[in-house]
Amino acid sequence: MTRPSWTPGERLTGRDPEPDLPPDAPVVGVLALQGDVLEHLRALRRSGARAVEVRTADDLAALDGLVVPGGESTTIGRLLERFELLAPIRARIAAGLPTFGTCAGMILLSDELDQDRPQPLIGGLAVRTRRNAYGRQLDSFDTRIEVAGIDGGPVDVAFIRAPRVEKVLDDDAVEVLAEVDGFPVVVRQGHLLAAAFHPEVTGDDRLHATFVAMVRAARGDA
């Protein structure tokens, strides 16, 4: 018996596991070790990408872009080490793979953390980030923010145990696209995009669409 290749949880929603996409749709992977994977897959598919789960180094080979999702950054970091993914992801990013980190993903992409306790990081983004900058789970909140370069008015976002950028380490390399209370919460550094919140849970796909456009541009699409 042939079974469809469902993303875990997708079958129960009644949604198709993969919408119709053009043959040239970019392939964007979502790191699927822990965290908010399913909603990113859906948002990427709605934004025109062929979204796939990434669990091994072999999964990286066919990617045009990568999303590092929200979740628990220390847990994801340890799993990256356990499954020997840190070095391969760092190599792909150094080679120019467009990468989008959200919430814990922003933490993992940061070059530095504002904390005494060390934890595994992917790095590459020249910022210093602070975990749980807006408080713990009970302090989570939804809001709307203006993001430079995104048309259509403020973007709907959800701050859930969210980090923020405490310091930009290279002003020439890092572009601040949005702030909350004077601190950067969306930044871009070349082929790296990072957001302190969860854009995948609000139904506002414009940040995902922006990232898919970055992936297409890096691939050389017209």
Residue 10 has pLDDT above 70, yes or no: no
Give a three-class secondary structure readout of the chain.
CCCCCCCCCCHHHCCCCCCCCCCCCCEEEEECCCCCHHHHHHHHHHCCCEEEEECCHHHHCCCCEEEECCCCHHHHHHHHHHCCCHHHHHHHHHCCCCEEEECHHHHHHEEEECCCCCCCCCCCEEEEEECCCCCCHHHCEEEEECCCCCCCCCEEEEECCCCEEEEECCCCCCEEEEEECCEEEEEEECCEEEECCEHHHCCCCHHHHHHHHHHHHHHCCC
Q: What is the pLDDT of residues 99-129, one digit of tens each?
A: 999 999 999 999 999 887 889 999 999 999 9
Looking at the 3D structure of the chain, how many domains does it have?
Answer: 1
Is the pLDDT higher at 136 or at 143? 143
Domain assignment present for 98: yes
- CATH number of the domain that residue 181 is part of: 3.40.50.880
Domain assignment present for 201: yes
Is the pLDDT higher at 138 or at 216? 216
pLDDT reported for residue 4: 40
Percent share of the chain, pLDDT over 90: 67
Domain assignment present for 53: yes
Domain assignment present for 5: no
Among residues 39, 40, 103, 191, which one is catalytic? Answer: 103
Domain assignment present for 14: no
Q: What is the pLDDT of residues 193-222, one digit of tens each?
A: 999 998 998 889 999 999 999 999 999 875
Specify whether 200 is catalytic.
yes
Give how far Cα 13 sits from Cα of 7, 10, 52, 80, Å.
Answer: 11, 5, 18, 29
Of 199, 131, 127, 192, the closest CA to residue 159 belongs to: 199
- Residue range(s) defining the domain that contains residue 127: 24-219
Domain assignment present for 85: yes
Residue 132 has pLDDT above 80, yes or no: no
The mean pLDDT value for 189-194 works out to 98
Tokens of 22: 């053009």
Considering the entire predicted model, what is its pTM?
0.89
Domain assignment present for 18: no
Among residues 40, 191, 198, 208, which one is catalytic? Answer: 198
Domain assignment present for 79: yes
